[in-house]
């Protein structure tokens, strides 16, 4: 019996070691891919591209001059030996072709630099819109907090009104914390820092959805009546808690902000594949066209419709969703029939399993 017990413990230890090593391998693989993506972004910078084009152009020009210096005498002797108009014409035509190629390369380089310049200008415009949006997002809750504090200081109110004021202040502080968290997380993701995603756990999905839905009721007091949640209690995901809360908060908040009051929001979760959980969040909001659907996950990107309607936001939420989901081994995509026809976001996350913490604790106590 002792031999069997030692064998079982060795098997459990081997399985745990394999699970740990596989996770470490996936984690470092993600970090390596993030490094190469950062390197590609650095090489794609307009200044780097311009410098490389100039180096290539100068190198080709110098090579052509060196070649011409080396073969000039031979070409002249060949032309005199041929002593024909045809030979002279071919000689001139060859140099015309070389000059045309150099001029073409110069023109292509100019076009490429112009295109990257336009892209750089577009990024600057996005960043300016982001700073404007962040300023507005900060000012609104701060003004609300200031008004509540001044009211509490100036007037004596009963306990019910005082509690309402404190609840309003607490809600606005939570909004500020979520905004700051989004900015900090997006900055870390952009630099490839993924340490905060490393600690995964077996998390039940239904309570997390309920928690986040309750947290975003500040956008709509009647949100509970609009939500249709379909998530079995036995659905678990294996991600870090911060990842799950970030994803749910940004997607549900977007569904509320970009749809009309009293319209239905459907949240569905199911284990459609053995090793992944599929989560969908469907609204009846402003919708997207195909062009916007391809750009919606880019940092700072906001659609023209959203800007036109002055809907609050920073353009970071969906970038955070995509980055954290992919870093956790999942995927995210969006589908929309078109403008004004609503949007559905789909997220796949690694499937977890229910952990009986009480039994685990009892087994540990039994060992001691």
Closest CA to 41 of 144, 148, 100, 123: 123
Q: Are 322 and 331 in contact (CB under 8 A)?
A: no
Closest CA to 42 of 184, 192, 194: 192
Cα distance between residue 205 and residue 269, in whole Å: 8
Measured from the Cβ of residue 50, the count of other Cβ atoms closer than 10 Å reads: 15
Which residue, chain included where needed, has tokens 């009721």?
Answer: 217
What pLDDT, on the 0 to 100 scale, is given for residue 209?
A: 92
Q: Which residue ranges of the chain lie beneath pLDDT 70?
A: 1-31, 33-47, 50, 72, 75-96, 99, 126, 129-130, 132-133, 194-198, 310, 353-368
Q: Measured in Å, how far apart are the chain's first and last C-alpha atoms?
A: 19
What pLDDT, on the 0 to 100 scale, is given for residue 252?
A: 92
Cα distance between residue 100 and residue 94, in whole Å: 10
Closest CA to 146 of 174, 162, 165: 165
Half-sphere exposure of 21 (CA within 13 A, CB side): 6
Residue 335: strand, helix, or coil: strand
Cα distance between residue 216 and residue 208, in whole Å: 13
- In the chain, what are the domains? 127-190 (1.10.287), 200-350 (3.30.565.10)
Closest CA to 208 of 246, 178, 170, 259: 246
Measured from the Cβ of residue 148, the count of other Cβ atoms closer than 10 Å reads: 18
What pLDDT, on the 0 to 100 scale, is given for residue 241?
A: 86
What pLDDT, on the 0 to 100 scale, is given for residue 22?
A: 58
Per-state percent for the chain, helix, strand, coil, to nearest 5? 70, 10, 20
Q: In a 10 Å sphere around its CB, with 0-12 CB exposed, 13-18 middle and 19+ buried, how is residue 346 labelled?
A: middle
In order of 135, 138, 143, 218, the CA distances from 149 in angstroms are 21, 17, 10, 19
Closest CA to 149 of 131, 134, 162: 162
What pLDDT, on the 0 to 100 scale, is given for residue 83?
A: 57
Q: Note the residue count of the chain.
A: 368
Q: Are 208 and 248 in contact (CB under 8 A)?
A: yes
Give the DSSP letter of residue 341.
Answer: S
| Token pair recorded at residue 33 | 């891919």
Cα distance between residue 355 and residue 126, in whole Å: 45
What pLDDT, on the 0 to 100 scale, is given for residue 2?
A: 53
What pLDDT, on the 0 to 100 scale, is given for residue 333?
A: 92
In order of 78, 100, 138, 241, 311, the CA distances from 305 in angstroms are 69, 47, 22, 33, 9
Cα distance between residue 167 and residue 173, in whole Å: 10
Q: What is the pTM of this model?
A: 0.59
Question: Model confidence over 71-80: pLDDT tens digits?
Answer: 767 766 666 6
Give the DSSP letter of residue 216.
Answer: G
């Amino acid at each position: 019996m002792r031999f069997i017990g030692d064998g079982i413990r060795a098997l459990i230890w081997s399985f745990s070691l394999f699970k740990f090593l596989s996770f470490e391998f996936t984690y470092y693989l993600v970090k390596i891919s993030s490094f190469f993506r950062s390197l590609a972004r650095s090489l794609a910078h307009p200044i780097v591209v311009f410098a490389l084009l100039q180096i290539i152009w100068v190198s080709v020009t110098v090579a052509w001059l060196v070649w011409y210096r080396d073969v000039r005498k031979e070409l002249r002797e060949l032309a005199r030996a041929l002593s024909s108009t045809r030979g002279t014409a071919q000689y001139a035509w060859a140099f015309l072709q070389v000059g045309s190629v150099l001029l073409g390369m110069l023109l292509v380089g100019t076009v490429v630099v112009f295109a990257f310049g336009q892209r750089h200008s577009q990024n600057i415009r996005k960043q300016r819109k982001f700073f404007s949006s962040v300023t507005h997002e900060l000012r609104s809750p701060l003004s609300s907090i200031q008004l509540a504090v001044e009211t509490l200081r100036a007037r004596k109110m009963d306990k019910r009104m005082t509690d309402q004021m404190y609840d309003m202040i607490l809600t606005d502080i939570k909004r500020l914390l979520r905004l700051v968290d989004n900015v900090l997380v997006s900055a870390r993701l952009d630099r490839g820092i993924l340490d905060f995603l490393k600690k995964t756990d077996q998390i039940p999905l239904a309570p997390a959805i309920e928690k986040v839905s309750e947290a975003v009721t500040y956008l709509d007091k009647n949100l509970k009546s609009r939500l249709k949640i379909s998530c079995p209690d036995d659905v678990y995901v294996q991600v870090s808690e911060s990842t799950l809360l970030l994803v749910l908060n940004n997607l549900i908040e977007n569904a509320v902000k970009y749809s009309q009051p009293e319209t239905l929001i459907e949240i569905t979760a199911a284990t459609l594949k053995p090793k992944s959980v599929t989560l969908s969040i469907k609204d009846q909001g402003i919708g997207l066209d195909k062009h916007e659907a391809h750009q919606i996950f880019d940092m700072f990107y906001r659609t023209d419709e959203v800007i036109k309607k002055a809907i609050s936001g920073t353009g970071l939420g969906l970038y955070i969703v995509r980055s954290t989901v992919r870093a956790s081994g999942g995927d995210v995509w969006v589908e929309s029939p078109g403008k004004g026809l609503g949007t559905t976001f789909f997220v796949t996350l690694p499937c977890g399993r229910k952990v009986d913490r009480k039994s685990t604790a009892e087994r540990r106590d039994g060992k001691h």
